[in-house]
C-alpha cells in the first residue's frame, strides 16, 4: 500500500528546483544557495569558496538529486572529481522543499564495512575498470534501514544484491550510494560497478598502457573507517598488478595474468595500479625491497632499494614491519609528490632518494589508521619521523646528525586558522598546513621535552596498545605518552594542539647575578609554558648546552621571571639556538650549505670535472681572485688554496681518503662540502668527491657524506645573533 501511495505523496510534498540549485553550485554562489535553505547558512557551503587540502573542488562542483529507495526521501548531493584524503561529496537533506544541515561524512547510521573481496578487470578498449566487491557488512541493532556508501563519482553501481542473490534496491548521486537493506540486515552485500577514471596526476587514471587506481576511491567506504581486503586483479600479459599487503598468487593463462593480493591490515585508503612495469628486486637484511617503473634505470632502481633498508631497520624499532617486502611504484601518471600504501608507495618521480616519509605511514596511517576527517595527525608523524630518522637512525655520527637535522620551527600564518587536533578535511588548506607543518614541529618540541628515548617509548606504547583497525587521533597519542613517561603532559597538548597560533614572546633583562642567569619572559600573545634549549659560552670559550624553563615564576599575566644556575664565568647566552621552538622569528638563520650552495658560482678544476655534479650555481671558466660567493670543486693536490681551506675546516686527506670527525670516506665513493669564512669577511665553499645522488647536508655548514649523498658527519652553526642572544659581560 505504501508503494502505491508514494508517487502521490511525493507530488504533494514541496519540490525543490534541483536545476536552480545546480546552477548556483556551479557558480559557487553560497549566498544564493542559502535562500533555498532552512536553518542552514551560507557557511555550510564553505567548500564552494575554498578548495580542499589537495585541491578537491578546483575542478568545479555540481548538484544532483538523490532519492532514497522505498521511502523516497530526497537529498542534494554536491559532487566533484575527488582525490583521496580530502573533501568528499557533500550531502544535504531536503526538508519541506528546503535544504537542511549538511550530513557529515563520519555519519555511519550504524553500518560498517569490515572486509572487501574484490574481483577487478580492466576493459582497455573502453578505458574502464569493472569491479565486483563482496562487502562484509557489520550493522548494529539500531542501524538504519538505509546504508550509505561513498566512492569516487566516476564509479557507477550497476547491481547490488544480498549474499543469497536477492537484489537490493539502491540509488546513486555523485559518488554517494544509498542501499535499502530492509529489516533483515545482510552480512554481505555484493556490488557491481564500473569506473572510467580519467584524472592523471590527480586521482585515478586508466589508459591503454596503464591502469592507476591511486588517490582514488575505487572502493566503497562508510565513514572512512578502516577495512581489510582481498583483491583478484586480471591484467594483460606482460603487465604487473600492484596492490597492498602480500601477493598471494600469480596465475598466467588465457592471454592474461591474474594477481591475488591479501591486505590483512585494516586501512582507510587503498591503492592499486597495473601496467607493463619493469620490477627490480633486492633482498637486504632478510627483507625484500622492490621498485616498479617504466621510466627509471636499472641502476636507479637498485639504489632505491639500498636507501630503503636503513629506514626500515630504524622503524622496526617502533614495531616490526608486518610484511615480507616493501616497494616503490614510480609512474609519471601519478603526478607530483607521493602516496603511502603501507606495503608500498606510489611516486610521480623524485627517486632514487632518501624518503623516510612515505614508509613512516606504514606505522602512522597504516597500523594506526587516520580518516583525515578530524585531523591530519599522521602527516605530522610522517614529517616528524623523517627528521627523527635523519637524527637517530641514519648512518654517521649521531651527535652531528642531531644538530644538522633539527627542523626550523618557523610558523606559518595558516597556524592561526585552526587547531592541530581538530582540523580535518573540512578545514581545507589550513588542515594541510597544520598537519604537515605545525603538528610535526610540535612533535619535535615534545621530543625535546621528554627526551628522544621517551618519545620512542611513547610511540611504541601507542602502536602496542591501540585497538587494531580503529581510527586513531591525537588524544590517543596523548594517553600513550602519559603511560610511557608517567607524566601528565596535558598542558603541553592543550597549548600546542588544542589552540591556534604559536608562542609570541620576548626575553628581557637578562643578566648574570650571584651564579645565576636571570631574566624575564614577556608574552605579546597568549601565555605559554616554555622550556627552551640554551647554549652558553664561557670566558674560556667552552660551550655548555642545557634546557631551561623560562616561565618559572608568574609576575602577572603575560610576564614571567626565570633564573638559570651556572658555574664559572658565562659571557654569552643563546636561547633556542637551533630554532626548535615554534615562535616568532625576526632574524635570518645561520648560514648553511643548503641555503647558500645554489647561489654560489662554481669553479671546477678540469682534473676533477666529474666531482659533485649538479651541485652549486653558475659555472666559472677560471678561479677569480675574489673568492667571495664561489664554490671551488677541486683536489688539494692540484690547487693550493684547497689545501689551505681543507686544513682550516679540519679535513685530513691522504690520497683519495678524507677523514673528519672520526669518519673516513673514499672520495671516489663519497664527498665533502664546507662553507669557509674568508679573511676579509666574505664566504666561499669548497667541495670534494663523487656521489651518485645530490648530497643532503641538512642545516650543516660542513658536511661529509657517502656515495648516496647521505650525511655522515659535519658541523652545524647555532644562532649567535638575534633577539634571543645576550652578552653577559
Q: What is the pLDDT of residues 235-253, one digit of tens each?
A: 999 999 999 999 999 999 9
Contact at 8 Å (CB) between 278 and 293? yes
Q: Cα(first)–Cα(last) distance of the chain, in Å?
A: 95
**327: phi then psi, degrees, rounded to nearest 5:** -145, 175
The answer, yes or no, to whether residue 663 has pLDDT greater than 90, is yes
Please state, as a whole number, how many other Cβ atoms lie within 10 Å of the Cβ of residue 114: 15
Radius of gyration of the chain (CA): 29
Q: What is the DSSP string of 632-652?
A: EE--TTT-HHHHHHHHHHT-E
Task: Give dist(CA 691, CA 304) in Å, integer.
Answer: 14
The structural architecture, per CATH, of the domain 361-497 is Orthogonal Bundle (1.10)
- SS3 for 333? helix
Q: Where are the domains of the chain?
A: 2-99, 105-275, 361-497, 505-584, 593-715
The percent of residues above 70 in pLDDT, for the chain, comes to 98
Average pLDDT in the chain: 96
**Angle, CA 293 vertex, CA 289 and CA 299 arms, to 5°:** 65
Dihedral over Cα of 615, 616, 622, 628: its sign = negative
Task: Give dist(CA 513, CA 510) in Å, integer.
Answer: 10
The answer, yes or no, to whether residue 135 has pLDDT greater than 80, is yes
Whole-number pLDDT of residue 39? 83
Note the pLDDT tens digit of each residue in 380-426: 999 999 999 999 998 999 999 999 999 999 999 999 999 999 999 99
The stretches of 560-666 forming alpha helices (DSSP H) are: 593-596, 640-649
The answer, yes or no, to whether residue 12 has pLDDT greater than 70, is no
pTM, entire model: 0.96
| Residue range 157-163: mean pLDDT, rounded | 97
Instruction: Please tell me the chain's helix, strand, coil percentages from 3-state DSSP, rounded to the nearest 5.
Output: 25, 35, 40
Please state, as a whole number, how many other Cβ atoms lie within 10 Å of the Cβ of residue 265: 18
Whole-number pLDDT of residue 441? 98
Burial of 621 (0-12, 13-18, 19+ CB in 10 A): exposed
The answer, yes or no, to whether residue 574 has pLDDT greater than 90, is yes
The structural architecture, per CATH, of the domain 105-275 is Sandwich (2.60)
Instruction: Name the E strands within 254-324.
Output: 256-267, 272-275, 278-284, 287-293
Whole-number pLDDT of residue 13? 58
| Residue range 313-332: mean pLDDT, rounded | 98
Please state, as a whole number, how many other Cβ atoms lie within 10 Å of the Cβ of residue 140: 12
The percent of residues above 90 in pLDDT, for the chain, comes to 96
Q: Which three cell numbers stand for residue 64?
A: 544532483
The answer, yes or no, to whether residue 439 has pLDDT greater than 80, is yes
Task: Give dist(CA 298, CA 56) in Å, integer.
Answer: 36
Whole-number pLDDT of residue 15? 84
Whole-number pLDDT of residue 432? 97
Whole-number pLDDT of residue 9? 42
Note the pLDDT tens digit of each residue in 632-656: 999 999 999 999 999 999 999 999 9
What contacts 329, CB < 8 A, 6 or more positions away? 242, 273, 277, 291, 292, 293, 344, 345, 346, 347
Q: Which of 577, 575, 612, 587 is nearest to 697 (CA)?
A: 612
Note the pLDDT tens digit of each residue in 192-223: 999 999 999 999 999 999 999 999 999 999 99
| Residue range 497-513: mean pLDDT, rounded | 97
The answer, yes or no, to whether residue 537 has pLDDT greater than 80, is yes
Q: Which of 587, 565, 609, 597 is nearest to 694 (CA)?
A: 597
Q: Is-same-fold flag (105-275; 361-497)?
A: no
Residue 650 CA to chain centroid, in angstroms?
Answer: 38
Q: Point out the least confidently predicted range of 1-10, 358-367, 480-489, 629-638.
A: 1-10
Ramachandran region, residue 604 (left: φ > 0; alpha: ψ -120 to 50; beta: rest): beta
Note the pLDDT tens digit of each residue in 687-727: 999 999 999 999 999 999 999 999 999 999 999 999 999 99
Contact at 8 Å (CB) between 690 and 707? yes
Contact at 8 Å (CB) between 446 and 492? yes
**504: phi then psi, degrees, rounded to nearest 5:** -115, 110
Q: Which of 86, 343, 329, 117 is nearest to 211 (CA)?
A: 329
Q: Looking only at Cα atoms, what is the longest distance across the chain?
A: 100
Task: Give dist(CA 550, CA 729) in Å, integer.
Answer: 21
Residues comprising the chain, all counted: 729
| Residue range 658-687: mean pLDDT, rounded | 97
What contacts 277, CB < 8 A, 6 or more positions away? 239, 240, 242, 292, 293, 294, 329, 331
- SS3 for 240? strand
Whole-number pLDDT of residue 10? 43
Task: Give dist(CA 337, CA 421) in Å, integer.
Answer: 25
The DSSP letter of residue 342 is S
The answer, yes or no, to whether residue 4 has pLDDT greater than 50, is no
| Residue range 303-325: mean pLDDT, rounded | 98
Q: Which three cell numbers stand for residue 98?
A: 528546503
Contact at 8 Å (CB) between 240 and 280? no
Amino acid at each position: 500500500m505504501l508503494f502505491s501511495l508514494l508517487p502521490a505523496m511525493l507530488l504533494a510534498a514541496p519540490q525543490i528546483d534541483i536545476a536552480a540549485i545546480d546552477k548556483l553550485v556551479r557558480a559557487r554562489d553560497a549566498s544564493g544557495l542559502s535562500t533555498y535553505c532552512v536553518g542552514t547558512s551560507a557557511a555550510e557551503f564553505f567548500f564552494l569558496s575554498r578548495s580542499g587540502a589537495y585541491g578537491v573542488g578546483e575542478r568545479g562542483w555540481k548538484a544532483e538529486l538523490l532519492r532514497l529507495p522505498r521511502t523516497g526521501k530526497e537529498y542534494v548531493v554536491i559532487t566533484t572529481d575527488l582525490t583521496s584524503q580530502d573533501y568528499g561529496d557533500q550531502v544535504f537533506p531536503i526538508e519541506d522543499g528546503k535544504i537542511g544541515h549538511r550530513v557529515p561524512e563520519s555519519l555511519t547510521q550504524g553500518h560498517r564495512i569490515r572486509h572487501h573481496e574484490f574481483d577487478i578487470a580492466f576493459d582497455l578498449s573502453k578505458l574502464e575498470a569493472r569491479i565486483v566487491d563482496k562487502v562484509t557488512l557489520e550493522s548494529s541493532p539500531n542501524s538504519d534501514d538505509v546504508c550509505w556508501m561513498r566512492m569516487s563519482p566516476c564509479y557507477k553501481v550497476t547491481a547490488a544484491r544480498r549474499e543469497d542473490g536477492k537484489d537490493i534496491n539502491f540509488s546513486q548521486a555523485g559518488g554517494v550510494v544509498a542501499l535499502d537493506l530492509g529489516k533483515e540486515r545482510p552480512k554481505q552485500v555484493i556490488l557491481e560497478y564500473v569506473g572510467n577514471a580519467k584524472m592523471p596526476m590527480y586521482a585515478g587514471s586508466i589508459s591503454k598502457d596503464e591502469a592507476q587506481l591511486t588517490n582514488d576511491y575505487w572502493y566503497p567506504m562508510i565513514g572512512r573507517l578502516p577495512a581489510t581486503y582481498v583483491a583478484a586483479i586480471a591484467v594483460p600479459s606482460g603487465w604487473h598488478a600492484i596492490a597492498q599487503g602480500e601477493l598471494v598468487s600469480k596465475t598466467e593463462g588465457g592471454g592474461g595474468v591474474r594477481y591475488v593480493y591479501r591486505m590483512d591490515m585494516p586501512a582507510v585508503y587503498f591503492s592499486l595500479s597495473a601496467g607493463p612495469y619493469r620490477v627490480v628486486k633486492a633482498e637486504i637484511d632478510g627483507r625484500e625491497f622492490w621498485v616498479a617503473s617504466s621510466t627509471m634505470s636499472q641502476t636507479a632502481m637498485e639504489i632505491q632499494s639500498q636507501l630503503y633498508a636503513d629506514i626500515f631497520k630504524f622503524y622496526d624499532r617502533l614495531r616490526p614491519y608486518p610484511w615480507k617486502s616493501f616497494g616503490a611504484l614510480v609512474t609519471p601518471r601519478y603526478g607530483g609528490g607521493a602516496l603511502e600504501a603501507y606495503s608500498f608507495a606510489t611516486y610521480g618521480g623524485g627517486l632514487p632518494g632518501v624518503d623516510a616519509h612515505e614508509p613512516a605511514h606504514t606505522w602512522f596511517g597504516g597500523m594506526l589508521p587516520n580518516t583525515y576527517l578530524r585531523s591530519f595527525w599522521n602527516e605530522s608523524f610522517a614529517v616528524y619521523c623523517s627528521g627523527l630518522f635523519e637524527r637517530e637512525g641514519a648512518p654517521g655520527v649521531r651527535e652531528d646528525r642531531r644538530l644538522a637535522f633539527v627542523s626550523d620551527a618557523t610558523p606559518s600564518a595558516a597556524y592561526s586558522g585552526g587547531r592541530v587536533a581538530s582540523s580535518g578535511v573540512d578545514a581545507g588548506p589550513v588542515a594541510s598546513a597544520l598537519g604537515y607543518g605545525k603538528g610535526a614541529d610540535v612533535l619535535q618540541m615534545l621530543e625535546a621535552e621528554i627526551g628522544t628515548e621517551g618519545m620512542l617509548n611513547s610511540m611504541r606504547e601507542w602502536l602496542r596498545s591501540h585497538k587494531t583497525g580503529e581510527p586513531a587521533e591525537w588524544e590517543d597519542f596523548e594517553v600513550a605518552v602519559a603511560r610511557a613517561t608517567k607524566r601528565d603532559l596535558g598542558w603541553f597538548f592543550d597549548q600546542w594542539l588544542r589552540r591556534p597560533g604559536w608562542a609570541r614572546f620576548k626575553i628581557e633583562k637578562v643578566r648574570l647575578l650571584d651564579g645565576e642567569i636571570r631574566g624575564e619572559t614577556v608574552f605579546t600573545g597568549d601565555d605559554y609554558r616554555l622550556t627552551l634549549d640554551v647554549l652558553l659560552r664561557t670566558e674560556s670559550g667552552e660551550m655548555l648546552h642545557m634546557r631551561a624553563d623560562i616561565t618559572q615564576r608568574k609576575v602577572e599575566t603575560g610576564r614571567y621571571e626565570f633564573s638559570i644556575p651556572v658555574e664559572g664565568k658565562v659571557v654569552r647566552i643563546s636561547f633556542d639556538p637551533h630554532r626548535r621552538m615554534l615562535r616568532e622569528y625576526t632574524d635570518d638563520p645561520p648560514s648553511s650549505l643548503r641555503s647558500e650552495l645554489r647561489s654560489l658560482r662554481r669553479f671546477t678544476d678540469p682534473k676533477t670535472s666529474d666531482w659533485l655534479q649538479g651541485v652549486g650555481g653558475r659555472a666559472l671558466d677560471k678561479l677569480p681572485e675574489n673568492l667571495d660567493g664561489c664554490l671551488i670543486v677541486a683536489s688539494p693536490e692540484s690547487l693550493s688554496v684547497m689545501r689551505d681551506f681543507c686544513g682550516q675546516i679540519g679535513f685530513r686527506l691522504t690520497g683519495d681518503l678524507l677523514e673528519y670527525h672520526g669518519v673516513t670516506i673514499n672520495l671516489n665513493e663519497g664527498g665533502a662540502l664546507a662553507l669557509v669564512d674568508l679573511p676579509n669577511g666574505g664566504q666561499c665553499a669548497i667541495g670534494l668527491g663523487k656521489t651518485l645522488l645530490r648530497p643532503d647536508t641538512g642545516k650543516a655548514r660542513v658536511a661529509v657524506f657517502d656515495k648516496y649523498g647521505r650525511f655522515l658527519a659535519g658541523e652545524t652553526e647555532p644562532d649567535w645573533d638575534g633577539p634571543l642572544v645576550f652578552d653577559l659581560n
